[in-house]
Amino acid sequence: MHESVVLIIGASRGLGLETVKAALRAGYSVRALARSAHNIALNDVRLEKICGDALDESAILQSLNGVNAVIQTLGVPITPGTVLRGTDLFSGASRVLVKRMRAAGVRRLITVTGIETGESRGSAGFLHSRVLFPLILQRIYDDKNAQEEVIRKSGLDWTLVRPGILTNNVPTGRYRIRTDPRVWCGGFITRADVADFLVRQIKDHTYIGKAPVLIG
């Protein structure tokens, strides 16, 4: 069992919810922040649900009290609005989080972005990089790129996690972790496998200051 407390932001569904489950299984106390945290269908004495917005400085400040590490798993729906106009959620929430983590003295930050961010652009294969990405994801990922820059300049002990295409399949435990751009490639990975990696980074310092690509 661990005495550490981990804050998971964006915790009510998808990858965030899988990360809550993985952290509880690993023995951590979990503080789950999401606007719909009350909908999290888990009950555990080590789970604290906080309804709040990732852009709300007061909610972030409250959530950081006593925390040892933060896992940021934000996402936006793919809608005509986000496809055409993009978003500023990722960079905006990260600016708030970095500011408050510095003030609270919390150093460990693990953030999910995605393959195609930063220097991994174009490495996910022809269909994804040349068709799907420019047609649907480009403007959303513009803000993920800005998010990565905010975190890289934060001075915190950060890890940027860039998974391939997420699926709801059962975990395999056999995912590949790639830091060398020469072997980056596209592919699928289960949310449960990504969650496993995220939780391992709470104590594992191997990837501090790095941005590994995860593929199943």
Q: What pLDDT, on the 0 to 100 scale, is given for residue 1? A: 41
Q: Using the 8-state DSSP alphabet, how is residue 210 labeled?
A: B
Mean pLDDT of all residues belonging to the chain? 93
- Each residue's pLDDT tens digit, 77-106: 889 998 889 899 999 999 999 999 999 999
Domain boundaries defined on the chain: 5-215
Q: Determine the average pLDDT of the residues in 179-208.
A: 93
Q: What b-and-e string marks burial along 49-77, b requiring 16 or more CB atoms within 10 Å of the CB? A: bbebebeeeebbeebbeebbbbbbbbbee
**Residue that has been written with the tokens 């994804």 in this structure:** 128
Please list the residues that pair with 109 across neighbouring strands.
Answer: 70, 158
- Each residue's pLDDT tens digit, 20-72: 999 999 999 999 999 999 999 999 999 999 999 999 999 999 999 999 999 99
Domain 5-215, what fold? Rossmann fold (3.40.50)
Contact 26, 50 (CB under 8 A): no
**Length of the chain, please?**
216
Q: CA 216, CA 193: separation in Å to the nearest integer?
A: 8
Contact 124, 164 (CB under 8 A): yes
Q: pLDDT-based confidence at 126, cuts 50/70/90?
A: low
pTM of the model: 0.93
Q: Determine the average pLDDT of the residues in 138-165.
A: 96
**Residue that has been written with the tokens 């804050």 in this structure:** 7
